[in-house]
Amino acid sequence: MDSWTSAWGSSVRESPPRSTRNVGSTRTAPEIARGMTLIEILVVLVLIGIVMGIVGGNFIQRGEKAKRDAAKIEIGQIGQTLDLFKLEVGRYPSQQEGLQALVAQPAGVNNWNGPYWKKPTIPKDPWGNEYLYVFPGAHGAYDLISYGADGKEGGDGADKDITSWDQ
């Protein structure tokens, strides 16, 4: 009887014995299930860092642009409030009175119908600095200035000054 025929006469093929080892392979079990090497992990981390740097940089730039836009809007609102003050009082606040004249009646002003600013204090710029009010202004009846992110005169990019005459 050969390996193709069983005792009852039917053809059944016996499979050869299976080996638990890869024949012809020189790898051992720890090599097959080794995982990732330190170099591979470092490469992945560097790639993640590069992607995060690009994406994070874009978000930071957008945040600074939003702050600049907010400062422009606020300077416009303060300017409108100064114009309302002038309509009622007949003049803009003096340099000494400053923007505080929009929330508290200056001494000796009779036509003051304020406060002209809804909140009890004049807002600070988006970077936490005071807006600079100059009267009389070099570029108009008055000048309003935010020195930007660095809080210093001049600068480029996020540090660039935001002014009432650049509106």
pLDDT of residue 124: 92
The reply to whether 84 falls in a domain is: yes
pLDDT of residue 42: 83
pLDDT of residue 149: 86
The reply to whether 157 falls in a domain is: yes
Distances (CA, A) of 67 to 35, 40, 71, 134, 135: 47, 40, 6, 22, 25
Better pLDDT: 21 or 52: 52
pLDDT of residue 96: 94
Which of 56-70, 94-108, 146-160 is the least confident region? 56-70
Is the CB of residue 64 less than 8 Å from the CB of residue 56? no
Q: How many domains does the chain have?
A: 1
**pLDDT band for position 21 (cuts 50, 70, 90):** low
106-156, pLDDT tens digit by residue? 998 888 988 988 888 999 999 999 999 999 989 999 999 999 888 888 888
The reply to whether 126 falls in a domain is: yes
Show the domain range for 107: 64-166
The reply to whether 156 falls in a domain is: yes
Q: Domain holding 72: CATH number?
A: 3.30.700.10
**pLDDT band for position 78 (cuts 50, 70, 90):** very high
